[in-house]
């Protein structure tokens, strides 16, 4: 089953092939209950961020799940505006404290620039933050490190300055907006692409263009779109808060034919073309 399968990162670390996204799930009862339910249903990969403000509730759900810590893959992210070595170390500690864990499985630089200043050149600051993350990785406080929303031009300076390549790039990726050039660069360089907003923040679910194909496979449009990401060798991070959607998003054990994959690959501008979000 797909939920039991794993991708292998460039350093040999295994990461569950589908994750539970928690963006826009508020801290408190909702984040706690949805995360706990996701874990009970079989998710073993939880994706959060300091900026989401829900790490505390997610950490409590992980504790209360009765699962072993080593059986859950936890991702969090350095806030986008933190672009210093010491700042990266400080906010990493804040995340550990909020989650109430002793290590992370994956830590990402959330964006190449502050969200309030999209497009700003923060190359120097990204390199400093990256150096801090390398230290945390070498100190075995993080099992893998990477970036999010980084273009090729943002990634190359990190590698040139440190000789250390990100293991993951988490980007906005869905049918009709797969950032082909960036995805190819990452996959050619053994950087796993994680697909956030695999349903275009819900926009794809109501698109008629997918209905007939979803019916053909006896699945929902959401399942079709998540499976599409998986068959393109990206790791989807669907977010849901209702029990049925949480369950369905993990159940993608069917195969989209080559013909249908080619058709889906050919689509453009199906959902929002906005390239970034938090």
Q: Among the options 50, 52, 91, 107, which is catalytic?
A: 52
Query: Would you place residue 206 in the very low, low, confident or very high pLDDT band (cuts 50, 70, 90)?
Result: confident
When pLDDT is cut at 50, 70 and 90, the band that residue 247 belongs to is very high
Query: pLDDT digit string (tens) for 101-153?
Result: 999 999 999 999 999 999 999 999 999 999 999 999 999 999 999 999 999 99
**Count of Cβ atoms closer than 10 Å to residue 93 Cβ:** 12
Whole-number pLDDT of residue 272: 58
Confidence (pLDDT) at 265: 96
In this structure, are residues 120 and 276 in contact, taking their beta carbons and an 8 Å threshold?
no
- The single residue listed with the structure tokens 């959607």 is 245
Q: If pLDDT is split at 50, 70 and 90, which confidence band does 273 have?
A: low
**Crossing angle for the helix pair 152-162 and 123-138, to the nearest 10 degrees:** 60
Give the per-residue pLDDT at 276: 47
**Catalytic annotation present for 52:** yes
Domains in the chain, CATH or no CATH each: 2-266 (3.20.20.100)
Q: What pLDDT, in 10s, does the model give residues 13-60?
A: 999 999 999 999 999 999 999 999 999 999 999 999 999 999 999 999
**Does 278 have pLDDT greater than 50?**
no
Distance, in Å, from the CA atom of 275 to the CA atom of 93, rounded to the nearest integer, reads: 30
* pLDDT over 70 at 271, yes or no: no
For the chain, what is the mean pLDDT? 95
Return the pLDDT at 41: 96
């Amino acid at each position: 089953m797909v939920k039991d399968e794993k991708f292998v990162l460039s350093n040999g670390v295994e990461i569950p092939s589908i994750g539970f996204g928690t963006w826009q799930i508020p801290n408190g009862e909702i984040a706690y209950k949805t995360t706990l339910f996701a874990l009970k249903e079989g998710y073993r990969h939880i994706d959060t961020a300091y900026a989401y403000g829900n790490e505390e509730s997610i950490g409590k759900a992980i504790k209360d799940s009765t699962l072993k810590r080593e059986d859950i893959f936890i991702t969090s992210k350095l806030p986008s505006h933190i672009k210093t070595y010491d700042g990266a170390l400080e906010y990493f500690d804040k995340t550990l404290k909020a989650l109430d864990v002793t290590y992370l499985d994956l830590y990402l630089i959330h964006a190449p620039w502050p969200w309030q200043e999209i497009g700003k050149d923060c190359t120097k600051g990204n390199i400093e933050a990256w150096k801090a993350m390398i230290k945390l990785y070498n100190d075995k406080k993080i099992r893998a490190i990477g970036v999010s929303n980084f273009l090729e031009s943002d990634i190359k300076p990190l590698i040139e300055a440190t000789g250390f390549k990100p293991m993951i790039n988490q980007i906005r990726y869905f049918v009709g907006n797969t950032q082909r050039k960036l995805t190819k660069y990452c996959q050619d360089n053994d950087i796993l692409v994680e697909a956030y907003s695999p349903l275009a923040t819900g926009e794809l679910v109501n698109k008629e263009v997918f209905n007939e194909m979803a019916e053909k496979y006896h699945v929902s449009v959401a399942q079709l779109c998540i499976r599409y990401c998986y068959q393109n060798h990206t790791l989807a991070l669907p977010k849901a808060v209702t029990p049925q959607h949480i369950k369905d998003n993990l159940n993608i054990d069917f195969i989209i034919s080559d013909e249908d994959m080619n058709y889906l690959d050919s689509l453009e501008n199906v959902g929002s073309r906005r390239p970034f979000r938090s």
